[in-house]
Structure 1
Amino acid sequence: MADDLKKGLEGVLVAESQLSSIDGDAGRLIYRGYSIEDLAEGASYEEVLYLLWHGQLPDAGELESFTDAMVAERAVDDAILEAVRSLAEADETPMAALRTATSMLSAMESESDVDAEDAEASLRKGRRITAKIPTVLAAFERFRQGEEPVAPDPDLGHAANFLYMFTGEEPDDVAAETFDQALILHADHGLNASTFTAMVIGSTMADVYSSLTGGIGALSGPLHGGANQDVMEVLFEIEESHLDPRDWVEQATDEGRRIPGFGHRVYNVKDPRAKILQRRSEELAETGDDTWYEITTTIEDYLTEEKGLVEKGIAPNVDFYSGSVYYQLGIPIDTYTPIFAMSRAGGWIAHVLEYQRDNRLIRPRARYTGPEDQTFVPLEER
Structure 2
Amino acid sequence: MPLQAYQPFKALYTLIAVAFETARFPFWILLYIHTAGRPHRKWTLRQAIRMRIVKAFLYHSSKVRVAPQLSLAPGTEKERFVVMEPATNSLYTGPTKDSEIVPTAIGGTWTPAAPTDVSNLEVVLHFHGGAYVIGDGRDRDTGFLARTLIKHAQATHVFTPQYRLSSSAQGQFPAALQDAITSYSYLVRTVGVPPSRITVSGDSAGGNLTIALLRYIEEHGADTGLPSPGCVWLWSPWTNIAAGLDAHEMESSPNYSTDYLNSEFGSWGAHTFTAGKDALQPYVTAYGNPFACKTPIWVQTGDAEILYEEDTEFVQQMESVKGNKIELFVSEAMPHDIILVGRILGFETEAAAAAKKAGEFLRAERAHL
Q: TM-score range by the shorter chain?
A: under 0.3
Larger radius of gyration: 1
Higher helix share: 1
TM-score computed with the length of structure 2 as normaliser: 0.27
TM-score computed with the length of structure 1 as normaliser: 0.26
Higher strand share: 2
